[in-house]
Amino acid sequence: MKLLNGGVGMIFEKVRAIICDQLELDEDVVTLDAVLLEDLGADSIDLADLVMTLEDEFDMEISDEELENYDYRRTSFRYC
């Protein structure tokens, strides 16, 4: 699989590693087109854990409003 060039590809690799670790998945399952709930089997607790880990890893805060508007059932990483 060819990943995006430059910084975006590096960010995806880091996010993929976090997701693989937390959801105990193989890297080949976590693709840019994977949907967290449908394809990766994440549940609401997994999502909350992922958000907290991503906030810590990237030193950022994801607002409650952003989380409420994000459709985890339909959106793949490609559209994040």
pLDDT in tens, 59-71: 999 888 888 887 7
Whole-model pTM?
Answer: 0.78
List 33, 43, 56, 71, catalytic entry:
43
Residue 53 lies in a domain: yes
User: How many structural domains compose the chain?
Assistant: 1
Residue 67 lies in a domain: yes
Q: Locate 51 and state its tokens.
A: 């958000």
Nearest to 36 by CA among 75, 79, 78, 80: 75
Q: What is the CATH number of the domain that holds 13?
A: 1.10.1200.10
pLDDT in tens, 13-51: 999 999 999 999 999 999 988 888 889 999 989 988 999
d(CA 64, CA 60) in angstroms, rounded, equals: 13
Note down the domain range covering 71.
Answer: 6-79
Cα angle vertex 77, ends 60, 31, to 5°? Answer: 125
Residue 1 lies in a domain: no
Q: pLDDT at position 66, please? A: 85
d(CA 16, CA 8) in angstroms, rounded, equals: 12
64 in active site: no
Residue 26 lies in a domain: yes
Residue 46 lies in a domain: yes
